[in-house]
Amino acid sequence: MKIKAITIKDNEKYLRQVSAKVNLNDKNLKNNINVLAEFCKENEVMAMAAVQLGIPKRLVYLKNTNLDIINKMQKNETTENEENYNEARVLINPVIIERYGLTDYWEACASCLDFMGHVKRPYKILVEYFDMDGEKHREIFERFESTVLSHEMDHLDGILHIDIADEVLEMPQEERKLFRQSHPYNIVSKTGEYQDLLQNNSIKKLKK
Ligand SMILES: [Zn+2]
């Protein structure tokens, strides 16, 4: 069965819901994760939140946050191995505890059609989550992984990247790849409180 992502065109209201906390004894959990894994295998995505596939639970699947491979993908220079690279990480009930630094990137989303948004995200996040064995983890996610994971975690609260973008452009996937070659992932700051940096950055922009 071919799984399709729910888009803002099909059912925006569905995507706007706040996903429910996962019960670690949920008998459907394995099945839900298989759906996510299957979709990510078949599609050129970096990660997925379960709600995008009709599973409104706090579940995130990370497929590929390796910036080197992603940059090569934008130039259509990947080897077969790199194309199939899948880091296959599942985060259950993830919560961001702390946010540091500031980055920006032209994000896209399987649910937002060809709408690409310029979004600011923390460089580094401290996240608490459970794995499939029910073990609790506290882990730091840095660099591009922080961008991807922050984007997915917003989905769990019904927030889309186009909501928080400072600029939105509509562009088909092949054009986006070209565009990102000249507008790559950008690190503004690796340290400092994200909220402060975000505020200062907006003020500076206004002054210009
Ligand atoms: Zn998304």
| Model confidence at 74: pLDDT above 90 | no
Alpha helices in 53-193 (DSSP H): 67-74, 80-83, 143-155, 161-164, 173-182
Residue 201 banded pLDDT, cuts 50, 70, 90: confident
Ligand 1 centroid, distance to 120 Cα (angstroms):
15
| Model confidence at 206: pLDDT above 80 | no
Q: pTM for this one?
A: 0.95
Q: Which residues contact 29 (CB under 8 A, 6 or more apart)?
A: 22, 92, 132
Ligand 1 centroid, distance to 161 Cα (angstroms):
7
Tens of pLDDT, residues 90-105: 999 999 999 999 999 9
Distance CA 145, CA 47 (A): 10
Task: Put residue 134 in one of left, alpha, beta given phi > 0 → left and psi -120 to 50 → alpha.
Answer: left
Ligand 1 centroid, distance to 162 Cα (angstroms):
9
Least confident of 136-150, 171-185, 192-206: 192-206
8-207 topology per CATH: Peptide Deformylase (3.90.45)
Ligand 1 centroid, distance to 48 Cα (angstroms):
7
Tens of pLDDT, residues 146-160: 999 999 999 999 999
Domain extents in the chain: 8-207
1-18 mean pLDDT = 94
Any idea which residues carry the catalytic annotation? 152
192-207 mean pLDDT = 85
